[in-house]
Amino acid sequence: MPNLRELTIRKATGEDKPRIIELIIEFYKESLRDFGVKFDLETLYETVQNFIDNQIGIVAEEEGKIVGVIGGMIAPSMFDKSQKIGQESVWYVTQEARKGKVGLHLIKAFEEECIKRGANAIIMIHMSNLYPEILDRLYKINGFRLMESNYIKGV
């Protein structure tokens, strides 16, 4: 019988910040560094603190260790200020924890928090260099539709 790990999904706290920073640095190295996106640790600390204090910051914990994070915000739509949009900014699960449903649990928790805060829609992103076929299928199975593709060019 496989060893089932206990998974806890919960709101991030200030005590989680060092581990969240580690996970986001892993995400950066795995997905953004090759695109020439600059990295500033002070900015990252401020952003994570904002997710914890004012926006949405959720962690996944297995056996007392944080193995995943999702963070984002709620903002009025630029097309209709009465509509609120939940926007995921970071979603990352360690490679060791990707074989389970940690990522899906984080998405569901993010969705629940967005709904609780009055969101009318939720936008999730996936990087073109991080398992696009798998994530495309995951999003579609969970009711998301492809809205746009983004391109980047360093200048």
- The string of pLDDT tens digits covering residues 103-135 is 999 999 999 999 999 999 999 988 877 777 888
Answer yes or no: is 150 within a domain.
Answer: no
Answer yes or no: is 151 within a domain.
Answer: no
Q: How confident is the model at residue 84 (pLDDT cuts 50, 70, 90)?
A: very high
Residue 121's domain comprises: 7-141
Answer yes or no: is 115 within a domain.
Answer: yes
Answer yes or no: is 30 within a domain.
Answer: yes
Overall domain count for the chain: 1
Amino acid in the structure at residue 118: G
- What the block records as the tokens of 54 is 């004012």
Residue 108 sits in a domain whose CATH number is 3.40.630.30
pTM above 0.85, yes or no: yes
pLDDT number for residue 1: 33
C-beta of residue 11 within 8 angstroms of C-beta of residue 57: yes
Judge whether residue 2 has pLDDT over 50: no
The average pLDDT across 67-94 equals 96
Q: In whole angstroms, give the CA distance from residue 28 to residue 26.
A: 5
Answer yes or no: is 129 within a domain.
Answer: yes
